[in-house]
Structure 1
């Protein structure tokens, strides 16, 4: 005899679990919807065919369309005609399961206004793993773009002013050269006509000041040449020992207050470079050593070499340079701040020196301690061998 069919009803416990799971899912969905709706970014979704399926409040604010106006419409309603190809690219990426991150573009509002946005697009996947659409997050980057454009404008303006300043320095320095040469020539003529000793003393002081002014103008001209990439370096073999000796002799002749002692290897030490420019660097460093050590009377210069390079050091026992400013001293027009300092100069000598040494493939740096003096080092590659 057949038994009657038995129908099992869900137990109260399973019903309770299912109801709880559904309640949690609904709660999460509500929380997600609230987050989307209150986001500052425009968040919307669309089908793979481009039909808009969701549209949050920020999308309404950004693009001017209400949710009722946008839902069911094609996404091209907010894409400018000249950017429609972007949609094909984005959908192509989405269909492959790829995410498009921070895509900067332009979208069009209901009133025709164009707004720059950063767009992030992600595939929407159903429970079966199928890609059914795309979710988009659009962020208004108008302020960032305006700031970027302003910075670019200011940079261009500063660059233009800097170029004009360099041009002025070059032209002014060039124009000053001619009258300075004439003045120096006239002073030489006058010196042959004066017999009075006191008048001759004043004349010599005048010629010294003209010489300083001429050196300053020459430095300014070199700065303008560096900025224009036109500073000429003529390289040939020369005796660095002789260049160093000549520079010390020249500086010592005009600065009786300081004694400069020199240690270097005997004989000739041949290197390849521009002897005139290297002498210019050495004279600048010696001048600085005297200028920044007013309370002392001794300068030490040393020259050593190995198979690859020569190393020149110029040491003073003066005021020194703070550690945090030792790199800045090679910057154009930079001077170490000292409210009590009466030391003159435009802060271009070390800048010129660095550029000259760099063009020789060498290095220049300083080691200093406030109150204990400074040592400047020049390292030059030795491209030729030492000869006796």
Structure 2
């Protein structure tokens, strides 16, 4: 579309880009003069000076980006003006009263000095206009009260004339300089307040929890910093509105303002609308209604809010990726553990079937017992197979099925499943009623691996005690065996997949997966597994799990 066509469209009240056009109902609160005869189409354009211009069928509206000098609200401005008027009036009255009372006893030079000091005081405490009025009135009073002829507005002495002129010049100059110094001091104080407010906003934004409720907290921080009536925050990523305060803005207005692709201000309505950007990408919109702020402050808030939103998005993506990775590792470990669990029933079935094949004259009761063992282990294999298939089909966030369980009960089940030797040698020496929230099938795998290792590598026939204790917010399970020793440099390596200690590998067959599976299963429950080993006392594995209500 050519520039002539665009101008023709603008003149006809139609936008060249329909998505940038909205009715007055959509931009509720933007128009200071809403039409009572129906919706008025509003078109956002950009003039050569860089200032936005809203053209409508009824009224033109210019939007300026010129920053204000201070953050004072309208009530503060009225109060300052009233104070200036009172100080100026009081100064003029003082000049008049002093001249009336002391015109015959005070010389012109002394009166000039007093009036000059009073003018400087007015310039410092009030506005420049009040100081100018005071200086002019003081000049008139000097002429009226202290020059010849007195009590008349004329002078017969040329020296008096130049003295009064010099006083007026010095009073006006000093008033101007004092006012500028005072204004600069106020500007410095205002900048300091701005910087402190922005620093507090950035610090608070960094300390916000990036999860649920982040948008509402961020909007509340902006509202508190700018003393706003309301703050409306809209993000592109989730297309959600976060509102602090009582907002009258319709969601359609927010989307239309975002689609316009530019910032704008409505100072008469105390409204500031800013696009939020990350690099060159638009990530949201900030709509502020605040009487005690200005465009410069609104612009300063934008990069802080944009950075906070991007930080929250990056953290959320990172945690999600880590969760998916950890859950995938957990699923792999569970599958490894289940595959490792195939070994025991397969060995039992192989031995029982070999006994049936090599001893055909075996008694009927013995044959029946071996057949029952084979059937029982086959059922166990079937159960493990079903669990493997189920785990392989689960999504990353469905691997664990948690519920409250008693560790004492779970350990008894594990000991029973390991057979008669385990039941004779393994004993829970100190029971504890503490409960944990866990997936029993996964946690059972961890205890099975550790107890199997204690049976295999511990001294034959020795007891394997298990102690359960509550330590602050943890439930600790210690499993001790004598006769095995793990070198200090290997105490971390033994939890690596497929690693087998050279000093212990000859004592029993294995794959090196057991302790790796056990660690992943424990860590999946926000716990940790530790090992302590002494060449004389033996080896102790300790599993720490969060007690109910303490897991993070």
Structure with bigger gyration radius:
2
TM-score range (shorter-chain normalised) is 0.3 to 0.5
Q: Give the number of the structure whose residues are more often strand, by fraction.
A: 1
Question: TM-score under structure 1 normalisation?
Answer: 0.43
Q: Give the number of the structure whose residues are more often helix, by fraction.
A: 2
Question: TM-score under structure 2 normalisation?
Answer: 0.31
